Amino acid sequence: MSLPRFADMHARGEKIVMLTAYDATFAAVADAAGVECLLVGDSLGMVCQGLDTTVGVSLETMRYHTESVARGLRRVQGTAWLIADLPFGSYHASPEQALRSATELMQAGAHMVKLEGGGWTSDTVRFLVERGIPVCAHLGLTPQTVHALGGYRVQGRGSEAAALLRQQAHALQDAGAAMLVLEMVSAALATQLTGELKRCATIGIGAGRGTAGQVLVLHDMLGVGLGKMPRFVRNFMADTPGITQALQAYVRAVKDGSFPDDQVHAW
């Protein structure tokens, strides 16, 4: 996979399938199942490390898991695009700090880095993109700032909040972000943004079926977790005999638009 390939899919309306991965074996299995984009998400803090939030995840941990996933892909000559999350505190001080952190993750095997938030992040996105580092932005529910947001709740509600989110999304596109994760925003707002952002593919998680692609946390879609599953998750293991089949079912459901179901998984 490559950025021009994603841009072409976005333009043609073919859905982009993204899933988190944290280790070599799952990366290889997901790649073989047809997942086009693997995200080494800092959600690993919660699903692998048992943390309450993603705030405690370090750059060193992200580098370790990115290397593992990249090795898994290399072992099977996988073609998935590999995105790694810049963790909390690794890009906030300055664009230069972001460049140093992003460099570590790119050298660990990432093709793109993801960072959370709008407003001040646009300058950082531009700084990285100008230096040859592809960037995926992340708006809506941004888990690294869950304490500031007051909990895991739907974002962009009300005309003022929606207008701010829209303005931030356009600024991130203008800064060069090639992808934008929209987490827990209304399906209507996500669909509107997807139509407006021609140079930036929206990837939804709890944002309805109108986005250019979908992402889920691997453990969630396999139906294993330590807490309550968010409403936007479907357990793809429920009707399948094994993990490979569940991953294939996820790929099919995103591609044919049957997941997510806006009546069930969205707001």
Specify the stretch interacting with ligand KIV by CB under 6 A; choose among 4-12, 34-42, 91-99, 171-179: 34-42
The answer to whether 207 touches 140, Cβ cutoff 8 Å, is yes
Residue 104, φ and ψ in degrees, nearest 5: -60, -45
Strand, helix or coil at 201? strand
Rounded to an integer, what distance in angstroms lies between the CA atom of residue 198 and that of residue 211? Answer: 12
CA distance 21 to 36: 12
Q: Which stretch binds ligand KIV (CB under 6 A): 7-15, 28-36, 37-45, 194-202?
A: 37-45
Rounded to whole angstroms, how far apart are CA atoms 263 and 166? 23
DSSP class per residue in 226-256: SSPPPTT---TTTTSSSHHHHHHHHHHHHHT
**Nearer residue to ligand KIV within complex by CB, 187 or 215:** 215
Of residues 127-186, those binding ligand KIV (CB under 6 A): 181, 183
Q: How far is the CB of 13 from ligand KIV (least distance, A)?
A: 22
- 9 forms part of the interface with ligand KIV (CB under 6 A): no
Catalytic site residue 160? Answer: no
Binding pattern for the stretch 214-233 against ligand KIV, x by CB under 6 A and - elsewhere: -x-x----------------
| Out of 31, 36, 42, 104, the residue judged to bind ligand KIV by CB under 6 A | 42
Phi, psi of 90 (to 5 degrees): -95, 0
Closest distance of CB 264 from ligand KIV, Å: 18
Helical (H) or strand (E) element with 17: strand 16-20
Task: Establish if 253 lies at the interface with ligand KIV (CB under 6 A).
Answer: no
Q: Which residues contact 100 (CB under 8 A, 6 or more apart)?
A: none
Tell me which of 189, 205, 246, 253 binds ligand KIV, using CB under 6 A: 205
Q: Among all chains, which residue has been given the structure tokens 């209304």? A: 186
Among 1, 20, 36, 206, binds ligand KIV (CB under 6 A): 20
Q: Would you please indicate which residues are annotated as catalytic (active-site) residues?
A: 183
Q: Which residue ranges make up the site for ligand KIV (CB under 6 A)? A: 20, 39, 41-43, 85, 181, 183, 205, 215, 217
